[in-house]
């Protein structure tokens, strides 16, 4: 069992979710149940899966949940690309969030390798 609160990747993914909430607060109200909701849920899923997996009894189980986190990060990246293309995010907003996603993806990959 791992203490997820001590993992840098968990801390960074929580920070990312906070940033996503801040950036999506300016999305139009007609996106409340569309892109805004989807992007927010996805961003929260990254850190949530890390936390859930850390509570599992084996490293193999933890690794599976890290895989889910990685998948959520790819989903979030895709949603942000779409948000940028339809004008919901500026290039600067997108680039900042995307850089953070890429860093988290690298951290997840490294952590997964260390568990194997």
Q: What is the pLDDT of residues 34-62, one digit of tens each?
A: 999 999 999 999 999 999 999 998 999 99
User: What pTM does this model have?
Assistant: 0.94
Q: Are 63 and 112 in contact (CB under 8 A)?
A: yes
- Angle, helix 35-54 to helix 59-85, in steps of 10 degrees: 160
What is 4-115's CATH number, 1.20.1440.60, 1.10.3210.10, 3.30.56.10, 3.40.50.720? 1.20.1440.60
Q: What is the pLDDT of residues 59-78, one digit of tens each?
A: 999 999 999 999 999 999 99
Gap between the Cα atoms of 58 and 72, Å rounded: 22
């Amino acid at each position: 069992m791992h203490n997820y609160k001590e993992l840098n990747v968990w801390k960074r993914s929580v920070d990312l979710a906070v940033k996503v909430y801040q950036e999506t607060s300016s999305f139009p109200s007609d996106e409340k149940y569309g892109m805004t909701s989807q992007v927010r849920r996805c961003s929260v899923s990254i850190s949530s899966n890390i936390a859930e997996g850390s509570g599992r009894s084996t490293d193999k189980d933890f690794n599976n949940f890290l895989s889910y986190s990685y998948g959520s990060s790819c989903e979030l990246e895709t949603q942000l690309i779409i948000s940028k293309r339809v004008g919901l995010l500026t290039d600067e907003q997108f680039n900042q969030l995307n850089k953070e996603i890429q860093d988290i993806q690298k951290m997840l990959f490294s952590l997964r390798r260390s568990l194997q």
